[in-house]
Amino acid sequence: MISVIEGFTFIGKRIPRKDAELKVTGKAQFTSDIWLPGMLYGRILKSPYAHAIIRRIDTSEAERLGAVVITWKDVPNKLYNPRLVSIEEDTFKDWQILTNHPRFIGEPIAAVAAPSEEAAQRALEALRIEVEKVYKPILDPFESMMPGAPKIHEKILRGNTEITVENNVGATLEYSEGDVDKALREADVVIERKFKTNRRYHFTLEPRGAVCRPDPDGGITVWSTTQTIHNTKILISQLFDIPQSKVRVVKTYLGGGFGSSIHVNLVTLIAVALCLKARRPVKLILTREEDMMHDHVSYQMYFRVKAGAKRDGTLIAGEFENIMDIGAHQIQAYPLLGTALGWFVSLYKWRNIRYVGKAVYTNKVPACAFRGYGNPQVTWAVETVIDELAEELGIDPVEFRLKNYRGKGEIFWGQGPTVRSIIRSDGVPELMDVGRKWIGWDRRDRLPKTGRFRRGIGVARGFHTSGAGGPISGSVIDYTGAIIKVNEDGTIDYITALQDHGGGTIDAHVKIIAEELQVPPEKINVVPVDTSNTPYDVCTHASRGVYVGGEAARRAAQEIKRKIKELAMRYFEQEYKERPVNFEAIRIRYDPEVNDAVIYVEGTNMKITLSELAKLAWQKNWGTLIASVTYRSTVAPPSFTVYFVEVEVDTETGIVRPVRVFAGADMGTVVNPDLAAGQIHGGFMMGWSWATLEDTVYDPETGELLNKGLVIDYKIPTAQDAPKLKDFYVYFAHTYEPTGPYGAKGIGEAAANPVPAAIANAIANALGIRFYELPITPERILEALRKKEEG
């Protein structure tokens, strides 16, 4: 479907991003670049045991060295959850800012601050830990769930209610629809498979960190690596009992998020605590090994999927069991149980569904959302089963998907059971059609399947929501706000708390405002902001930046436009002494000759530029042109992505390389073509890495990461590992989402979600072997090939 609004002035144009100059000159200030006079450097004392009770910490030597020291005794003793996206009642709290009962290696138990990093390191090493008890760590969620297993948590909070944790299960969720058992009996084909995903590390190029400064009014200013300045403000306020109006969290550039900072990073709270004790600015930036060792990792999931279909290719049953290894603390385990169900249900029309989900504690780094929030994992499992069903039925895998997927007109679950809407835009048929031709889908079985180098083509189809909005207020908080004002020279200030962690969402907003007001993007200034001068935005996550944030910006711009027209009308009446001008006859359009918006009356010579009008309003005391909007989306429409991947496997070394990639995306109107393509490129490489390279593996005795947090042994692909330019084709479907700003939807997570599945399916097509454990390493491939040869 071609976009309804044709002939955009600014939407869809290739314009360098607004912060490009700052970033290419190295002047963009990230949290770790902040430097304040009198600043102290912080270091965290990390638990050297995976599970222990600490009796005390001898801080005397560290204090003698002149450091400021805090232990669990110096911080508020409140249980909390660092992620404030869910409503209170659905928030499970089992964290402490500093603890004497560490439950994973790296959990913060104390911290120091000193005038230099070296001095802080010395003070850190001068702290003496006296251990009361050390426990053998539990590293396997199935072991952890067994009756009699040592308890990792006993009493935690859900909202403000204390609950008892049984069998180390932090949260559960069950759901069913229809009669799965009956449907499975009636199915002509049933496939049941078990899957184990890997435990991936986000590897944002910027390690997490924070700077905190005490302010004269008793408040604090905080810079941190966060995807949500407002939730950071709220949590700090709640924990440290400082009024929110006195906690100013500044929006800085963020060197990557991918979900690692949806929650308030521990380092931020510790920096605040140190700052409050020292009454001096404190900078606490994690080292890379701390960032990996003790801060965050993706959810590791164990699935059992059982699916049934009829001979004619109709899916009729889907059973899904999801055991999640969440590590030592909950961040968003309970919501993820719901979203994982949502992904499963929304991928295909199962017709009869049963779901059991459990989030299980282990003594490992706590897990948090990672681009896709369970969707890549679920899509991998589902797309594998779908592929196998199609094979079993002798139906083309592309046709089988087209027949059973949830597309236009279907009910779609946003991010869980409480968020349902109807799909209004759907580019899947177009993407499948173009993709299969480009990759040569029909020749895939004629590619070499014997000999040393074998090739295969795999397909996978995925989606992600655009935000987490819904018709009623449910379990998830999702709203945003925007302020736009016009300066007295006609330039525009755009104020939003929404964070851009690189994807370019703010640039999309600017183009949307530009389009609405017909003002060139270079005249729109994105104001550096903090929590004191912005309306609330929940967080940049769930691919909501453009769809929700952009729509808020558009509505604010719409209001400004109305006000501009009102003022223009006043001007026209005064200037041209005409009878009152018909308001509807006033138009705005961009005039390249004056490089400004021109407000004019159709069919007359009455016109004025925005800069002239703004100056006039100032001189005439007509007031400021300003609009402030708070906005919640009532839907969260899916963006669809389809990947066709051709791989080559060296069957003697097990090494896989990407040969050709078709990346098809349905994101509605593409506001920023370069940055949208960038999301796809990045999404593919991340998915490739997830599927073939990444895992964090623990020492079973000590519970320490085998690689000790050192990136020498956590590899991600380099430019030399990526496919050639000509072998990577990005294609955007011609769709238009009626509920999105100028027809746009999100893309950030959809870009990566189906990639591991596509690669796994490609390997299966090349080798005739399926893998049910990630990552699919050369070691595993070689082993499987040998087993197959031996028969």
**What is the smallest separation between the CB atom of 287 and another protein, expressed in angstroms?**
5
Give the separation between CA 493 and CA 500, rounded to whole angstroms. Answer: 17
SS3 138: coil
Beta bridge partners of 494: 484, 526
Q: Is 605 in the site for another protein (CB under 8 A)?
A: no
**What is the smallest separation between the CB atom of 227 and another protein, expressed in angstroms?**
12
Is there a cis peptide before residue 775, judged by omega within 30 degrees of 0? Answer: yes
**What is the smallest separation between the CB atom of 673 and another protein, expressed in angstroms?**
8
Binding mask 684-723 for another protein (x = CB under 8 A): xxx------x---x---xx-x-xxxxxxxx-xxxxxxxx-
User: Is the Cβ of residue 27 or residue 73 nearer to another protein in the bound state?
Assistant: 27
Question: By CB under 8 A, what part of segment 494-513 binds another protein?
Answer: 501-504
Binding mask 12-41 for another protein (x = CB under 8 A): --x-xx-xxxxxxxxxxxx-xx-x------
Q: Is 289 in the site for another protein (CB under 8 A)?
A: yes
| AA identity, residue 270 | I
- In this structure, are residues 499 and 228 in contact, taking their beta carbons and an 8 Å threshold? yes
Of the residues 194, 779, 787, 788, which one makes contact with another protein according to CB under 8 A: 779
| Parallel, antiparallel or unpaired: strands 189-196 and 169-177 | unpaired
Of the residues 167, 244, 287, 628, which one makes contact with another protein according to CB under 8 A: 287
Of the residues 56, 64, 73, 136, which one makes contact with another protein according to CB under 8 A: 136
Binding mask 719-758 for another protein (x = CB under 8 A): xxxx-xx--x------------------------------
User: Is the Cβ of residue 1 or residue 697 nearer to another protein in the bound state?
Assistant: 697
Phi first, then psi, for residue 113 (nearest 5°) are -140, 140
Q: Is 682 in the site for another protein (CB under 8 A)?
A: yes
Nearest to 197 by CA among 331, 372, 354, 330: 372
Question: By CB under 8 A, what part of segment 40-59 binds another protein?
Answer: 43, 45-46, 48-50
Stretch that binds another protein, among 116-124, 379-387, 465-473, 761-769 (CB under 8 A): 116-124
User: Is the Cβ of residue 204 or residue 375 nearer to another protein in the bound state?
Assistant: 204
Give the separation between CA 647 and CA 628, rounded to whole angstroms. Answer: 51
Stretch that binds another protein, among 11-19, 322-330, 466-474, 608-616 (CB under 8 A): 11-19
Of the residues 42, 108, 255, 754, which one makes contact with another protein according to CB under 8 A: 255
**What is the smallest separation between the CB atom of 648 and another protein, expressed in angstroms?**
16
Binding mask 655-674 for another protein (x = CB under 8 A): x----------------xxx
User: For 284-366, where are the alpha helices, taking DSSP H only?
Assistant: 288-294, 333-347
**DSSP summary character for residue 778:** H
Question: By CB under 8 A, what part of segment 140-159 binds another protein?
Answer: 150
Going from the C-alpha of 221 to that of each of 216, 245, 248, 256, 408, the distances in angstroms are 11, 11, 5, 22, 47
| Parallel, antiparallel or unpaired: strands 655-666 and 728-732 | parallel
Cβ atoms within 10 Å of 613's Cβ, excluding its own: 24
Place of tokens 């087993």: 787
| AA identity, residue 690 | W
Count of residues touching another protein (by CB under 8 A) = 106
Nearest to 366 by CA among 465, 450, 477, 264: 264
| AA identity, residue 239 | L
**DSSP summary character for residue 741:** G
User: How many degrees, rounded to 5, is the angle at CA 250 between CA 244 and CA 252?
Assistant: 155
Six-digit token pair at 311?
Answer: 């001979």
**What is the smallest separation between the CB atom of 92 and another protein, expressed in angstroms?**
23
User: Is the Cβ of residue 170 or residue 658 nearer to another protein in the bound state?
Assistant: 658
Question: By CB under 8 A, what part of segment 162-221 binds another protein?
Answer: 202-207
**What is the smallest separation between the CB atom of 669 and another protein, expressed in angstroms?**
17
Of the residues 318, 435, 654, 740, which one makes contact with another protein according to CB under 8 A: 654
Beta strands in 475-551, from DSSP E residues, in sequence order: 480-486, 492-495, 524-526
Q: Return all residues near 41 (Cβ < 8 A) that are at least 6 apart.
A: 113, 114, 115, 116, 117, 119, 120, 282, 283, 284
SS3 305: strand
User: Is the Cβ of residue 525 or residue 702 nearer to another protein in the bound state?
Assistant: 702
Give the separation between CA 334 and CA 476, rounded to whole angstroms. Answer: 11
Q: Is 283 in the site for another protein (CB under 8 A)?
A: no
User: Is the Cβ of residue 54 or residue 316 nearer to another protein in the bound state?
Assistant: 54
**What is the smallest separation between the CB atom of 149 and another protein, expressed in angstroms?**
10
Helices (H) and strands (E) in the chain, counts: 18, 30
Binding mask 411-450 for another protein (x = CB under 8 A): ----------------------------------------
**What is the smallest separation between the CB atom of 289 and another protein, expressed in angstroms?**
5
Q: Is 253 in the site for another protein (CB under 8 A)?
A: yes
Question: By CB under 8 A, what part of segment 77-106 binds another protein?
Answer: 105-106
Say if residue 603 is exposed, middle or buried (CB neighbours under 10 Å; 0-12, 13-18, 19+).
Answer: exposed
DSSP codes joined into one string, 180-242: HHHHHHH-SEEEEEEEE--------SSPPEEEEEE-TTS-EEEEES-S-HHHHHHHHHHHHT-
Of the residues 77, 160, 176, 653, which one makes contact with another protein according to CB under 8 A: 653
Give the separation between CA 326 and CA 316, rounded to whole angstroms. Answer: 31
Question: By CB under 8 A, what part of segment 513-532 binds another protein?
Answer: none
**What is the smallest separation between the CB atom of 389 and another protein, expressed in angstroms?**
31
**What is the smallest separation between the CB atom of 783 and another protein, expressed in angstroms?**
8
**What is the smallest separation between the CB atom of 721 and another protein, expressed in angstroms?**
5
Of the residues 5, 562, 652, 787, which one makes contact with another protein according to CB under 8 A: 652
